Structure 1
């Protein structure tokens, strides 16, 4: 299954460059966390401060709630998420306390 999510970055060129540098070589624990929860592929694209993530998952293994729980309880993943929040900002449509927000498909050819 494919999931499209959106998130903003803080409007600071130095922070954006640092954020992109972290994503050129993500921590091995983050990579393992994603794979262990059924994420088979992931891309993040940016235009200005808006980011869109394409996440592909194996439906037999992917459980969004289990992945979210692991994100909150694994110390290394929490450390990564806290570090990333230095750069990230919620979109105007992001519910309070959340980060990446699912997008609604409005067209498919």
Structure 2
């Protein structure tokens, strides 16, 4: 774990306890091909936290990581497209998200 860059993102789930439970259940058993797509993109750590219906994701990536490369890999991977489509039925964009944007990159405002 040499030089890593950390990115933090936020996204909301639909405000429905059943939807939230389904999302949690899916993430307790993420398919192997989805895990592989994440690690193949150069993501070394990915943690998702939940409070209420708000999701917070921490991603740590190696030097070779590129958002553009990951997006291209995801577009070309039918398993990722199916997973994203399924997750999209449970998620809702943040009010300040750009059109079509799901996970919103957060700004770091403090460090100790």
Normalised TM-score (structure 1) = 0.96
Output aligned runs, 1:2-21, within 5 Å: 2-21=6-25
Using the TM superposition, give the Cα deviation of residue 24 of structure 1 relative to its aligned residue in structure 2, in angstroms: 0.7
Q: Are 1:90 and 2:93 an aligned pair?
A: yes
d(CA) in 1 for partners of 2:80 and 2:99? 21
Q: Which residue of 2 aligns with 1:57?
A: 61
Q: Secondary structure at the match of 1:42?
A: strand
Gaps of 5+ in 1: none
d(CA) in 2 for partners of 1:93 and 1:4? 16
Q: Which residue of 1 aligns with 2:70?
A: 67
d(CA) in 2 for partners of 1:25 and 1:55? 19
Instruction: Point out the more displaced range, 61-70 or 9-18.
Output: 61-70
Q: Secondary structure at the match of 1:82?
A: helix
Gaps of 5+ in 2: none
Normalised TM-score (structure 2) = 0.93
d(CA) in 2 for partners of 1:93 and 1:55? 21
Aligned length: 108
d(CA) in 2 for partners of 1:95 and 1:19? 23
